[in-house]
Amino acid sequence: MKIICIGRNYTKHIEELNSERPDEPVIFMKPDSAVLLKNNPFIIPPFSDNIHYEAEILVKINRIGKFIDKKFAHKYYEEIGLGIDFTARDLQSRLKEKGLPWEKAKAFDGSAVIGNFCNKSELDLDAIPFQLERNGEIVQDGNSSHMLWKIDELISYVSQFFTLKIGDIIFTGTPAGVGRVEADDVLVGKIADKDFFRVKVK
């Protein structure tokens, strides 16, 4: 299983981090060791004191594909989920300043929360509402309609570089509202008011 992540896919998130708006999707990867095991807490790693939550819509690939035309991309997934791309923001900033890769800040153990999935037929894929609650307060309130690149566009684009395989998961980017986690936080992710994950921070 590959975890393929898309960065800078929501304008307001780009603005809140003072990043440059890309001309094409920004891609980075997480290894399978980044997956936070079900029902396990997220443990703040010792190498960072500024871990940020980033809630994202997930797409689970269900067939093998390469050089997928956008008009056929819908055939390559049936399930939509929700997750968190945990980011060591302090470490990422230092790496970016030096022009170095982000992996240490993005792909560390436990940095990928993969919540529940539902059939895509239950949703309007062009307008999926999702939220992240931190200790009962909504901190991210996103909608797939605000993506710079929609799901089918991302599948087509990613497949130009990487063969997509059954079980691969695409993290489609995070909206504005990212922020620092603290020990004892409880993070709850929702799509259309239905819980898709709950994570305790330690």
Per-residue pLDDT of 3-48, as tens digits, reads: 999 999 998 876 777 777 889 999 999 999 999 999 999 999 999 9
Residue 35: alpha-carbon gap to chain centroid = 12
Q: Report how far residue 22's alpha carbon sits from residue 5's, in angstroms, rounded to the nearest whole number.
A: 15
In terms of residues, how long is the chain?
Answer: 202
Q: What does the domain layout of the chain look like in residue ranges?
A: 3-200
**154-181: average pLDDT:** 97
Architecture of the domain spanning 3-200? Alpha-Beta Complex (3.90)
Question: Which has the closest alpha carbon to 147: 124, 112, 172, 114?
Answer: 172
Does the structure show a pLDDT above 90 at 63? Answer: yes
From 87, 110, 102, 83, select the one nearest 16 (Cα to Cα).
87
DSSP 35: B
- pLDDT score recorded for residue 103: 95
pLDDT of residue 55: 98
In this structure, what DSSP letter does residue 97 have? Answer: H
Q: How confident is the model at residue 141 (pLDDT cuts 50, 70, 90)?
A: very high
Beta bridge partners, 169, equal 3, 60
Order of strands, edge to edge, in the sheet holding 186-191? 137-143, 129-134, 186-191, 194-200
**Non-local CB neighbours of 104 within 8 Å, separated by 6+ positions:** 47, 88, 91, 95
In the prediction, which pLDDT does 40 show? 97
- pLDDT reported for residue 22: 81
pLDDT in tens, 78-135: 999 999 999 999 999 999 999 999 999 999 999 999 999 999 999 999 999 999 999 9
At 16 the pLDDT is 74
Report pTM. Answer: 0.96
What is the structure's pLDDT at 12?
82
Mean pLDDT over 179-198 rounds to 97
What pLDDT was estimated at residue 13?
77
